[in-house]
Amino acid sequence: MRTLDKFRKSAFHRFLKKHQKYAPIIFFIGGFIFDTLTLGRVDRLYDTIVLCSHMTMLSVTLYLYNLADDFKWRLTILQRYRDYYPLAIQFFFGALSSAYVIYFSRSVSLSKTMSFFIILLVLLFANELLKKRISNKYLQFSVYFFISFTFFSFIIPVLLKKMNTSIFILSGVVSLVLTLTLILVIYYKSPTTRAEIKLAKIVGIVFGMYTIINLFYFYNLIPPVPLALENGIVAHHIKVDNNKYSVSYQKEEWYIFWRMHRLKFITSPGESVYIFSSIFAPTHIEKSIFHRWKWFNSQTDDWEIVEDIGFDITGGRNDGYRGYTVKNNIKEGLWKVEVITEEELIIGVVDFEIIISNTLNPEALVIKNF
């Protein structure tokens, strides 16, 4: 008891007691900052170890936290840290969701895959909801399942060096089994948990989320992580020499820093139009990629598929696997090129408008090497 009293009087504990209203959000943001400063690429050994450690510790902490109310850890060292379990859960929620935002942000363009990215952002910044209701077991297990599903959708392709629909389904099944196992273990070991939740309800919630995420996938609303579009540029010419791609394109205004090329692409009559893309893929993952050229038909108010042009990529290059496609005799109007997998999952989209004119100043072009 003396040791416990001494611990409770420690400076750190007193600080948390004094600022307990803000402690959860501080730990949540701490997890976000930690990953932002340290994570790089998902197939790097350090990243893999960090993510696996976060996921393992989150699972262990949820178990400890939910059994603490039943005095399972009484007279043990685990009881000393009971007040810190919610903060640890908050930290790992923040660390894992921020890692997903970091990785997904590389994959997302302003396309329909943005909807899933927005869900991640909502999860990341829903601090008020989490900090006030972290004791709500329905919320705990729901967020845990979503985070574990996303975790395995990254890690399993990296570990197996393969990604396709079967791998995504496997990721979902693994996360489903893990979540239900954790719920059942806690439920049957904790009388408090049995009093607070209905098993059928929480299982139904988890299966409902599982179904929704799979529907997102099959309707192309989830980007095919861990693939990511590093660069997508509409260009006038591309030259390949000694494994170096020289891309000639019209540069966007300096204040539009999030896009390299101009949306209004001025081209001469009969000039070819190129699309350059560099795609990040984890080491040893091989994948067929397609550029799907689409033209907007203003009469039908619909996008028409003009052509799918494919090439294969092999992962591992830091700046992405490079490739390009070209179209001749292209007509004016709004265009977009979807960079897709063979399963037709969208990695990214290159938008532009073709304007045929003889007024393009050659000095407006820039050449960048990739």
CATH of the domain at 271: 2.60.40.1930
Q: Please check whether residue 353 is in contact with residue 333, taking contact to mean a CB–CB distance below 8 angstroms.
A: yes
pLDDT-based confidence at 218, cuts 50/70/90? Answer: confident
Helix or strand holding residue 104 (H, E): helix 85-105
Query: What's the CA gap between 323 and 317, in Å, rounded?
Result: 13
Q: Are residues 179 and 273 in the same domain?
A: no
Q: Are residues 89 and 197 in the same domain?
A: yes
What mean pLDDT is reported for the chain?
A: 81
Tens digit of pLDDT for each residue in 262-283? 899 998 888 899 999 988 877 7
Q: Residue 260 has which token pair?
A: 């390299």
pLDDT at 140: 86
- The more confidently predicted of residues 203 and 217 is 203
Question: Domain ends where: 183, 200, 218?
Answer: 218
- The more confidently predicted of residues 89 and 236 is 236
Tens digit of pLDDT for each residue in 292-322? 999 999 999 999 999 999 988 776 676 678 8
The SS3 of residue 122 is helix
Buried-state track 147-171, b at ≥16 Cβ within 10 A, e below 16: bbbbbbbbbbbbeeeebeeeebebb
Tens digit of pLDDT for each residue in 321-342? 888 999 998 999 999 999 998 8
Q: Are residues 206 and 241 in the same domain?
A: no
Residue 130 has pLDDT above 60, yes or no: no
pLDDT at 209: 92
| Placement of tokens 């830091």 in the chain | 318
pLDDT at 76: 75
The answer as to whether 223 is a domain residue is no
What's the number of domains the chain is made of? Answer: 2
pLDDT at 1: 46
Residues forming a β-bridge with 353: 264, 334
pLDDT at 319: 65
* Owning domain of residue 139: 2-218
For residue 269, the 8-state DSSP code is: T
pLDDT at 128: 45
